[in-house]
Amino acid sequence: MKQLGVLDTAFVNLETVPTPQHIGGLSIYDPSTAPDGFVRFKQVLANFNQRLSRLPIFRQRLVEVPGGLDRPYWIEDERFNIEYHLRHVALPAPGDWRQLMIQVARLHSRPLDMSRPLWECYVIEGLDNITELPKGLFAVYTKMHHALIDGAGSEAFMSALHDLVPDPEPRAEEDYKPVAIEKPPGPMALVGRALVNRTVNSASIARGFFNVTRDVARMAIDISRDKIPMPDIRPPQTRLNKPVGPYRVVEGVAIPLRDFMDIRARAEVKMNDVVLTVIGGALRKYLLAYDDLPQESLTGSIPINMRKRRAENDEANQV
């Protein structure tokens, strides 16, 4: 049993019906390169079941402390069933890009079951009428709670499920070795742990509060002396500043990676700079189309991977 970190817990606490805290990704595969020219669902299922041995947290579920007195815990799910988490669906006719986006939007709008391991994957077949792509493709849509994984963690997830060579050597250690299923501690035991943790952590919390207060005071002094500009984080009002509902709209566009690499090289910037510029340009065109472009620049929140800037730890989110 392992306790969640502070940021991981924050994503659990932020979970609501209109603002679920899961993230998603869509991958499209061409099965014609497989040995038999096609891939069966049972093969995808077997691959997931084997490779997830590299990521044991995907077999664990949350145990929350009564009253929110302490951070939740990850515990091995005694009823884990890979077939609950990996599902098989097919697009309705005509199986085009619009139908794929509608299907993904529907799947992404559904909240995860917080009593089970916090992820789901859908193998989507019937991609037969997508412009500039061959028939017979299939897609995999993945949905994971942010308490489970962040952007860099999702890269580790994809790396665990894929190989970089056509015929990799099999690894015997990838076979999942079941662990002893722990009996979840009862409410009183969890409350007792919480009281002990609060006593032990009081000093570190006090030190952390002092450090934050000191840093804020220094920043305030620097701003007052015009050493750093005072940021204006109030967002301009647009059609985007509305209450969020539970439903989602998904759309995508294919852009050759080579185009991004060429722009990055010519402008001598990082790939993130190119991507953010494209997204900013798309938002500008969208707001112009609705005559809703504000005079001020939009305000955005961009997560930064902090894995190389912090001491090594095992928290899922390091942003």
Pairing mode of beta strands 22-29, 137-145:
antiparallel
Q: Which of 137, 51, 43, 46 is nearest to 90 (CA)?
A: 137
pLDDT of 26 reads 95
How many whole angstroms separate alpha carbon 138 and alpha carbon 123?
Answer: 7
In which element (H, E) is residue 305 found? none
pLDDT of 80 reads 92
Which is the catalytic residue, given 22, 85, 145, 146?
A: 146
Specify the amino acid at residue 233: I
pLDDT of 172 reads 55
CATH class of this structure's domain 2-181: alpha beta
- What averages of pLDDT result for each successive group of 10 residues across the chain (319 residues)? 86 90 93 87 92 87 84 90 95 92 96 95 94 90 90 78 78 55 69 66 56 63 60 80 88 92 96 93 95 89 64 58
Alpha carbon separation from 274 to 154, 220, 271, 304, 312 (Å, rounded): 21, 33, 5, 16, 29
Please check whether residue 319 is in contact with residue 303, taking contact to mean a CB–CB distance below 8 angstroms.
yes
Is position 146 annotated as part of the catalytic site? yes
How many whole angstroms separate alpha carbon 54 and alpha carbon 68?
Answer: 31
Specify the amino acid at residue 96: D
Please check whether residue 54 is in contact with residue 160, taking contact to mean a CB–CB distance below 8 angstroms.
yes
Length of the chain: 319
Q: For the whole model, what pTM was predicted?
A: 0.81
Alpha carbon separation from 237 to 19, 29, 280 (Å, rounded): 20, 40, 16
pLDDT of 5 reads 85
Is the peptide bond prior to 94 cis by the omega test (within 30 degrees of 0)?
A: yes
